[in-house]
A and B are shown apart, each in its own frame.
Chain A
Amino acid sequence: MNKIYTEEELMEKTVAELRELCKGYNIVGMSKARKDDIIETILAFYDETEEYTEDDGNDDNCSDELNDKVPYITANVHSILKNNTYHSLISVSCGAASSNYPVVGRTVGFVKATYREILNVETDAKGVVNGVIVNDSQVLKSGDILEFVRQAGSKG
């Protein structure tokens, strides 16, 4: 279980402590990131969790007691307790190939490097999240759809 910190509390932590915190949240790609970037990524991760808490605030299946506990549970546990409204799998495709992978909180660049061979992703393929071109540093959120653009066929 991971506690959620305020921005001020995060600022007081050392870079090593922040990186350790990222590990607990399953946020990757932070080993060489600057302190500001790490904090920004952690806050974005919190926002996402909070977004789902707010969306389902009046959900009968979700008691106030549960909402009180949300800041102290991991995203995956949250997913189960909240009727799976938090999707931990993201659809990733390249050309005709596609699959679902547990890459919430990971960067587009990480997904490209990890699944490049399986999906036959070209090294210079652009990442597109929900129909919009993004950089490799973009962190994926629950519900995102990721595509790596495959080159068009040249013959005919």
Chain B
Amino acid sequence: MVIREITIIGLGGIGSVLSNTVSRFINSKNIGVITINLVDGDDYEEKNLERQEFTSYGNKASVKKNELEYKFRKINYVDYPIFIDERSAAEIIKENCIVFLAVDNHKTRKLVSDFVKNFKNVVLISGGNELTDGNVQIYIRKDGVDITPSLTDYHPEIENPKDKSPDEMSCEELSKSEPQLYFTNFMVANYMCAAFYNIIEKSNYNYSEVYFDLLTMNANSKVRKTKNQNKKEKGDF
């Protein structure tokens, strides 16, 4: 698969690690000029220190851009210091790109998942976690056909999200956060990288989701049918 543009949405516990590892991999390859878009409207603050990778305070997208462009000279970084919405998604997410979605709410997952369904070719790798377990979903669309299920197909909690996106939250809501563990964020980031590697290096489009559990040290990948394949199997296609 030929990639020219990568978009990383969300630069918190998962995204701040992931942006570094993906950049390192891309930078080591001789695959021409790559643009990496970094998207996050939140600021890095002292309270984030225990599980987020930043070297200075400020907007996460802008700080991360400065850090990464100093380390990885072959990559063109663009920072978007905003929370993604429908309008900015149309501006930032392009056809034929790879999107890493590392946000902390299902509302944004649904927004991005629904948005990229209109593309002919796209790869969307989305990660999320609770305290000690997590999952990574892989949505691949090729030549206008779903190769793997979208983020919402098997997940009603994403199809009908009950949470809010960051731009709908009050300052008080934004400042509150559930406890998270750096190790869990780190593992999600690693599985997102594994999905990325499988797709671009091995052309392996089989897996649609992987779950892991830090406490049992188990991981389990899933192969699932797309919505259309499901309809065909049931005979109502």
Contacts and interface: CB of A to CB of B under 8 A. Distances in A.
Interface in B161-216: 163, 178, 180, 185, 188, 211-213, 216
Interface in A93-123: 93, 95-98
Contact of A152 (B128, B219, B225): B128
B178 A95 contact: no
B103 A151 contact: no
A131 B213 CA distance: 22
B220 A156 contact: no
B158 A152 contact: yes
B53 interface: no
Interface string A72-102: 0000000000000000000001011110000
- The residue in A96, A97, A131, A147 that gathers the most chain B C-beta atoms within 10 A of its C-beta is A96
B220 A154 contact: no
Interface stretch (B63-71, B75-83, B130-138): B130-138
- The residue in A124, A155, A156 that gathers the most chain B C-beta atoms within 10 A of its C-beta is A156
Q: Which secondary structure dominates where chain B touches chain A?
A: mixed
B216 A96 contact: yes
A133 B154 CA distance: 8
Interface in B89-103: 102-103
A131 B225 contact: yes
Interface in B208-237: 211-213, 216, 218-220, 222-225, 229-230, 233-234
A156 B135 contact: no
A132 B230 contact: yes
A96 B218 contact: yes
Contacts of A153: 127-130, 133-135, 188
B211 A154 contact: no
Contact of A132 (B12, B102, B233): B233
B106 interface: yes
Contacts, number: 90
Interface string B1-21: 000000000101111000000
Nearest to B226: A131
Contacts of A124: 156
B188 A156 contact: yes
Contacts of A93: 220, 222
B76 to A, nearest CB: 25
B102 A156 contact: yes
B45 interface: no
Contacts of A95: 133, 135, 211, 213, 220
Given A97-B220, A153-B129, A154-B163, A133 B230 contact: yes
A97 B137 CA distance: 17
A141 interface: no
5 contacts: A96-B220, A97-B220, A131-B225, A133-B154, A153-B188
Given A126-B154, A153-B134, A156-B185, 19 more contacts: A95-B133, A95-B213, A96-B220, A128-B154, A128-B224, A131-B225, A132-B230, A132-B234, A149-B155, A152-B106, A152-B155, A152-B158, A154-B105, A154-B106, A154-B157, A155-B104, A155-B130, A156-B104, A156-B127
Interface of B: 10, 12-15, 102-106, 109, 126-130, 133-135, 137, 151, 154-158, 163, 178, 180, 185, 188, 211-213, 216, 218-220, 222-225, 229-230, 233-234
